[in-house]
């Protein structure tokens, strides 16, 4: 009786492991290996980077010049029907190659980014010499 129970448990365990592996492979395929890029870390935006190839990827960039915000991403709770802002999209300027591009930043960085916008426009207007990161 004990041997039969051990065999059944072993069969169930093996089948559950196989199902879990199949589900993991499907999730990796659906996410286009997004988990792997998170584990490996962000790609650094450098001088003369091809921005089109970085669209939708996990990147890092030392933001110095922020021109303005242009969109907000909100989430609405189904229970309370209340919307909250989760991310804000900003236009940033890369002085190294003269490119302007959009970035998505979590809302918790709204205050420092707003200060950075004011500093950037002061720099553009010639009120200050250089911005510090």
Q: What is the pLDDT of residues 69-104, one digit of tens each?
A: 999 999 898 888 899 999 999 999 988 888 888 888
**Chain position carrying tokens 């010499």:** 129
Find all residues with CB under 8 Å of 123, minimum gap 6, and list them. Answer: 65, 129, 130, 131
Q: Which residues pair with 88 in a beta bridge?
A: 72, 105
pLDDT-based confidence at 66, cuts 50/70/90? very high
Instruction: Tell me which residue of 63, 58, 13 sits closest to 37, measured CA to CA.
Output: 58
The per-residue pLDDT for range 8-65, each reduced to its tens digit, is 777 778 888 888 888 888 877 776 666 666 677 777 777 666 778 777 777 888 888 9
CB 83 within 8 A of CB 68: no
CA angle in degrees (0–180, nearest 5) for 89-93-98: 145
């Amino acid at each position: 009786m004990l041997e039969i129970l051990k065999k059944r448990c072993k069969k169930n365990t093996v089948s559950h492991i196989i199902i879990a592996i199949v589900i993991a492979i499907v999730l990796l395929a659906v996410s286009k290996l997004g988990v792997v890029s998170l584990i490996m870390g962000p790609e650094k935006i450098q001088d003369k980077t091809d921005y089109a190839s970085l669209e939708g990827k996990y990147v890092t960039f030392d933001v110095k010049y922020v021109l303005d915000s242009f969109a907000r991403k909100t989430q609405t709770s189904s229970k309370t029907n209340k919307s909250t802002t989760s991310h804000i999209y900003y236009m940033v300027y890369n002085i190294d190659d003269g490119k302007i591009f959009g970035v998505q930043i979590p809302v918790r960085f709204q205050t420092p980014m707003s200060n950075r916008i004011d500093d950037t426009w002061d720099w553009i207007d010639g009120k200050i010499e250089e911005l510090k990161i």
